Chain A
Amino acid sequence: MAEPLLRVEKLVRRFGGILATDNVSLDVARGELHAIIGPNGAGKTTLISQLTGQLLPDAGTIELAGTDITYVPAYRRSALGLARSFQITCLLLDFTALDNVALAAQAHDGHSFRFWGNARNESNLRRIARAALDRVGLAARADTVVSRLSHGEQRELELAVALATSPQVLLLDEPMAGLGITESARMVKLLQELRREVTIVLVEHDMDAVFALADRISVLVYGRIIASGAPSAIRNNDEVKRAYLGEQHAVTRHV
């Protein structure tokens, strides 16, 4: 069994009296698409934030390709190959789509303490940026200011920005959030293509997408992983059914 690309071991995070992450352990193998599902308030975003470094855990370890990154600051994790998309769109709203992606490429192209040359003329960065935009289907909207993009386009842009950093692992926090039927289908198709190139950890509510895409699924309830395995096993797991369909309902349809 090959060494997992991302290994989380007994992660713990408290907020005052609340145990948001309760001894979470999971493995993500290289090339896998691992989905994390769970009812609202289960602690999915808290978990992702600890993986990317926006939050630091109280206990436990996170390893990326064998390196302990538990307390490595957020900005350095990107250099190590971890890229993230945000649940609530987090982009540079007053810049163009191209600028957003080019900046991500710039972050991974040496240092940025260059004060003289016009960065927008750096053909290398622009080329990488356009390629990433093309990948997600936003090539035509490259020069549009982000605040003018539709919600679906912004979600796609989030993906492009993450891709431009040439990541080893892509952490996607509800990329389908707020998307309509057509846009969701596009996103699923895009993820199907991407999974062949990069390892993906996907947090999602959209069950159709999850079962269509995932190699393995982990279920997070009240900060604990209650089940982890192949989609078919998860679908038939009693505890999962109770947690999801008993007290809280999962999103299986778009409105």
Chain B
Amino acid sequence: MLLVVEQFLNGLQFGLLLFLLAAGLTLVFGIMDFVNLAHGSLYMMGAYFAATFVAWTGNFVLGVILALGATLLLGIVLEFVALRHFYGRDHLDHVLATFGLILFFNDAVRLIWGPAGLALPLPGWLTVPIQIMPGIFYPSYRLAIIVVSLAVAAFLYVLVMRTRIGMLIRAGASNREMIGALGINIKLLYTLVFGLGAALAGLAGLMQAPILTVQIGMGENILILAFVVIVIGGIGSIRGAFLAAILVGLIDTLGRAFLPDLLRQMLSSAAASTAAPALSSMLIYLLMAMVLVVRPEGLFPANRR
């Protein structure tokens, strides 16, 4: 029971992290029609910046805030210098260009920080386990991630649905020329949206950093999952990304935790231990395959009429 609750919360936490990534991707794709594979690199940079700044300042919270700012700045510079030249082009061009960026970032990180990964130790007050139910304790840091992610999700909702900027974002997603004709500075809007996406990616990266090692290539693995989330959740829908991310997070975590035992009960021990890791990693892709068969437009697509 204890294990189930713990794994459930882990799955929720992972799902929320995926949502932060997927939301950034969806925003940039929805508003600027830009496919950003380097999103994973920004995730990685968030983690590296956090590890570095926390070590420099000796203060966890300060380091994290600086890292977030640095990633935001990096995103804006990237957009301004390189990526804005690709707007309006074929998606394939975006894919190839940002693929080049991934290669660049991976080597740049290797040059600056070395090939070995970094660690980001948690301050004492974040390692205390918190009693969430009678007899059940859960790491306070992971709870913090859940809380922060939900807060950011709520912030995004309010931003996109209830503010003027959000209105521009939604309008821009439907009709770019109109927005330009209204006298809004499109270039600035795009830069800000890209910055927001970068900040979301960086936040996800730095939050994940203390739990996993900070290493080169960490962005690519999770980026694929973010893609799966977007496909399952539905075209252009942040609400869909949220629900799909939770679903994917839960299925992946719970699957990896309990599938091996389940298999061992059904198959021989040898067969189970061969099949289990492979099958566990396949679970979300199987989910994606099922969604594609039944509803290719996604489970919760945004209505665009």
Residues of A near B303 (CB, < 8 A) are 16
Q: Which residue on A lies nearest to B305, using beta carbons?
A: A16
Whole-angstrom CA separation of A100 from B303 in the bound complex: 36
Interface string of B274-305 (1 = CB under 8 A from A): 00000000000000000000000000000101
Counting CB contacts under 8 A, is A116 at the interface?
no
Residues of B near A15 (CB, < 8 A) are 305
Q: Which residue on A lies nearest to B303, using beta carbons?
A: A16
Residues of B near A16 (CB, < 8 A) are 303, 305
The total number of A-B Cβ pairs within 8 Å is 3
Interface string of B30-46 (1 = CB under 8 A from A): 00000000000000000
Query: Which residues of A in the span 1-43 have a Cβ within 8 Å of any Cβ on B?
Result: 15-16
Whole-angstrom CA separation of A1 from B196 in the bound complex: 68
- Minimum Cβ distance to chain B for residue A161 (Å): 27
Whole-angstrom CA separation of A15 from B305 in the bound complex: 7
- Minimum Cβ distance to chain A for residue B59 (Å): 53
- Minimum Cβ distance to chain B for residue A55 (Å): 13
- Minimum Cβ distance to chain B for residue A19 (Å): 13
Residues of A near B305 (CB, < 8 A) are 15-16
- Minimum Cβ distance to chain A for residue B4 (Å): 43
- Minimum Cβ distance to chain A for residue B55 (Å): 55
Q: Which residue on B lies nearest to A16, using beta carbons?
A: B305
Whole-angstrom CA separation of A16 from B303 in the bound complex: 10
- Minimum Cβ distance to chain B for residue A56 (Å): 15
Whole-angstrom CA separation of A15 from B303 in the bound complex: 11
Whole-angstrom CA separation of A81 from B303 in the bound complex: 35
- Minimum Cβ distance to chain B for residue A22 (Å): 18
Q: Which residue on B lies nearest to A17, using beta carbons?
A: B305
Whole-angstrom CA separation of A90 from B305 in the bound complex: 23
- Minimum Cβ distance to chain A for residue B46 (Å): 40
- Minimum Cβ distance to chain A for residue B54 (Å): 51
Whole-angstrom CA separation of A21 from B303 in the bound complex: 20
- Minimum Cβ distance to chain A for residue B72 (Å): 38
Q: Which residue on B lies nearest to A18, using beta carbons?
A: B305
Whole-angstrom CA separation of A15 from B304 in the bound complex: 11
- Minimum Cβ distance to chain A for residue B303 (Å): 8
- Minimum Cβ distance to chain B for residue A103 (Å): 24
Interface string of B121-135 (1 = CB under 8 A from A): 000000000000000
- Minimum Cβ distance to chain B for residue A149 (Å): 25
- Minimum Cβ distance to chain B for residue A58 (Å): 14
- Minimum Cβ distance to chain B for residue A17 (Å): 9
Whole-angstrom CA separation of A72 from B303 in the bound complex: 26
- Minimum Cβ distance to chain A for residue B236 (Å): 17
- Minimum Cβ distance to chain A for residue B238 (Å): 20
Query: Which residues of B in the span 165-190 have a Cβ within 8 Å of any Cβ on A?
Result: none
Whole-angstrom CA separation of A249 from B70 in the bound complex: 60
- Minimum Cβ distance to chain A for residue B77 (Å): 39
Whole-angstrom CA separation of A16 from B304 in the bound complex: 10
Interface string of B244-255 (1 = CB under 8 A from A): 000000000000
- Minimum Cβ distance to chain A for residue B90 (Å): 15
- Minimum Cβ distance to chain B for residue A113 (Å): 24
Whole-angstrom CA separation of A16 from B305 in the bound complex: 7
Whole-angstrom CA separation of A69 from B305 in the bound complex: 27
- Minimum Cβ distance to chain A for residue B109 (Å): 42
- Minimum Cβ distance to chain A for residue B296 (Å): 15
Whole-angstrom CA separation of A96 from B228 in the bound complex: 40
Q: Which residue on B lies nearest to A15, using beta carbons?
A: B305
- Minimum Cβ distance to chain B for residue A248 (Å): 24
Whole-angstrom CA separation of A46 from B303 in the bound complex: 19
- Minimum Cβ distance to chain B for residue A122 (Å): 33
Query: Which residues of A in the span 193-229 have a Cβ within 8 Å of any Cβ on B?
Result: none
Whole-angstrom CA separation of A138 from B11 in the bound complex: 65
- Minimum Cβ distance to chain B for residue A2 (Å): 41
Query: Which residues of A in the span 124-158 have a Cβ within 8 Å of any Cβ on B?
Result: none
Whole-angstrom CA separation of A2 from B212 in the bound complex: 77
Whole-angstrom CA separation of A246 from B295 in the bound complex: 46
- Minimum Cβ distance to chain B for residue A106 (Å): 29
Whole-angstrom CA separation of A28 from B305 in the bound complex: 32
- Minimum Cβ distance to chain A for residue B263 (Å): 42
B→A interface (CB under 8 Å): 303, 305
Please name 3 pairs of A and B residues whose Cβ atoms are closer than 8 Å in the assembled complex, sorted by A.
Answer: A15-B305, A16-B303, A16-B305
List 3 tightest A-B contacts by C-beta distance, closest first: A16-B305, A15-B305, A16-B303
